[in-house]
Chains A and B, each alone.
Chain A
Amino acid sequence: MISVTINGERRQLEAPLNCTELLARLDLAGKRVALERNGEIVPRSQFAVERLAEGDRLEIVVAVGGG
């Protein structure tokens, strides 16, 4: 198990897991999202190879209505 912060919320996750697996676990597979890990963008092409680590801070964002 690792402890990570996703969108400001702490979560325990079964490790190892990469970003693709994380999104699947969060029911976000196939959704148009962008991911930031510890302040750095994770390109979509890297989702399957980038592994999460203990203490990671993740932001997962979408486009919403705004002016």
Chain B
Amino acid sequence: MKPHENLDPLVIAGKPYRSRLLIGTGKYKDFAETRAAVEASGAEIVTVAIRRTNIGQDPKQPSLLEFLPPSKYTLLPNTAGCYTADDAVRTLRLARELLDGHELVKLEVLGDPKSLYPNIVDTLAAAKTLVKEGFKVMVYTSDDPIIARQLEEAGCVAVMPLASLIGSGMGILNPWNLGIIIEQAKVPVLVDAGVGTASDAAIAMELGCDGVLMNTAVAAAKNPMLMASAMKLAVEAGRAAFLAGRMPRKLYSAAPSSPTAGLITPSPKP
């Protein structure tokens, strides 16, 4: 029995989710592999990108949404590749129309094509516009606690700081900043970007993150399905460990786990 799975939902914009793992759908070999990885991950929220349709392509070519139907998954359209607030807002207006009025979105405004580091000024401006237009905005941001707070004050429904740069797989580089963001936030905090392997996801959850969003860590694994399932377990384990409350760190143990009395030879003096 895993009580935390049912009694401890992730609530975003008032809606509960069983899974705290959110999965991106980019960089897979094909749609079948995308679906298999998403299924193995147990994710209920999956991100999608919005792009110009390929005019002139075979009309029978399958579409992503046939493999990940909106009736089964909560699709989270993103603004990946947008470098201005205007482009991000336009993209999400199109996404809302595309997904029949769907309001939950992932906002990211990038500042630099090499690092993919977020442009915070435009992110904040876009967030304000989107919130005014009724979007429920999950926002990708740096791990700056002040910006995270301002994004929350702007009305974002979740704050999603990077653990390290998008696609880097470098893991959690600044747990202390994440800790401050988590401590102050009243909306869910999800680590978005930088997770490389299962232990990174577990650490994020042990820090008290409400969830983890990842793409490359799964898609770029040699076996994406196996990594997706590892990530599922890691997020569950990390969450359970966080809820359980870890023991304090001590340089020395003054209390061994086994009885000190009844030894056949006495312990040496410290």
Interface string of B15-38 (1 = CB under 8 A from A): 000000000111110010010000
Kindly state the separation between the CA atoms of A41 and B64 in the bound complex, as whole angstroms: 22
Question: B46-54, B117-125, B147-155, B250-258: which one contacts chain A?
Answer: B46-54
Kindly state the separation between the CA atoms of A56 and B80 in the bound complex, as whole angstroms: 26
Q: Cβ of B259: which chain A residues have Cβ within 8 Å of it?
A: none
CB-based closest 10 A-B pairs: A67-B24, A66-B49, A67-B215, A34-B98, A65-B25, A34-B97, A7-B52, A63-B48, A66-B26, A34-B94
The 8 Å CB contact of A63, one of B24, B27, B56, B98, is: B98
Flag if A64 contacts B94 (CB, 8 Å): no
Residues 24 to 48 of chain A near chain B (Cβ within 8 Å): 26-28, 31-36, 39, 41, 43-44
Interface string of B37-78 (1 = CB under 8 A from A): 000000000011111110110010001110000000001011
Kindly state the separation between the CA atoms of A28 and B60 in the bound complex, as whole angstroms: 10
Given contacts A28-B59, A39-B90, A59-B94, contact A65 B64 (CB under 8 A): yes
Q: Cβ of B50: which chain A residues have Cβ within 8 Å of it?
A: 34, 61-64
Flag if B98 contacts A43 (CB, 8 Å): no
Number of A interface residues at 8 Å Cβ cutoff, please give it. Answer: 26
Q: Cβ of A61: which chain B residues have Cβ within 8 Å of it?
A: 50-53, 91, 94, 98
The chain B residue with its CB closest to the CB of A8 is B52
Determine if A13 is an interface residue (Cβ-Cβ < 8 Å): no
Determine if B216 is an interface residue (Cβ-Cβ < 8 Å): yes
Given contacts A39-B90, A66-B78, contact A34 B95 (CB under 8 A): yes
The 8 Å CB contact of B47, one of A8, A44, A67, is: A67
Offer 14 A-B interface pairs, CB within 8 angstroms, sorted by A.
Answer: A26-B56, A27-B55, A31-B59, A41-B94, A61-B50, A61-B51, A61-B98, A62-B50, A62-B63, A63-B48, A63-B63, A65-B64, A66-B78, A67-B26
Flag if B55 contacts A60 (CB, 8 Å): yes
Q: Cβ of B31: which chain A residues have Cβ within 8 Å of it?
A: 65
The chain B residue with its CB closest to the CB of A30 is B59
Flag if A62 contacts B98 (CB, 8 Å): yes
Determine if A2 is an interface residue (Cβ-Cβ < 8 Å): no
Question: Which residues in B have some Cβ–Cβ distance to A below 8 Å?
Answer: 24-28, 31, 34, 47-53, 55-56, 59, 63-65, 75, 77-78, 80, 90-91, 93-95, 97-99, 166, 213-216, 219
The chain B residue with its CB closest to the CB of A6 is B55
Given contacts A32-B63, A33-B53, A33-B98, contact A66 B25 (CB under 8 A): yes
Q: Cβ of B65: which chain A residues have Cβ within 8 Å of it?
A: 32, 63
Kindly state the separation between the CA atoms of A34 and B27 in the bound complex, as whole angstroms: 23
* Min distance, Cβ B81 to any Cβ of chain A, angstroms: 8
Q: Cβ of B214: which chain A residues have Cβ within 8 Å of it?
A: 67
Kindly state the separation between the CA atoms of A36 and B93 in the bound complex, as whole angstroms: 9
Flag if A27 contacts B56 (CB, 8 Å): yes
The chain B residue with its CB closest to the CB of A23 is B53
Flag if B59 contacts A67 (CB, 8 Å): no
The chain A residue with its CB closest to the CB of B214 is A67
Q: Which of A36, A62, A63, A67 has the most CB of B within 10 A?
A: A67
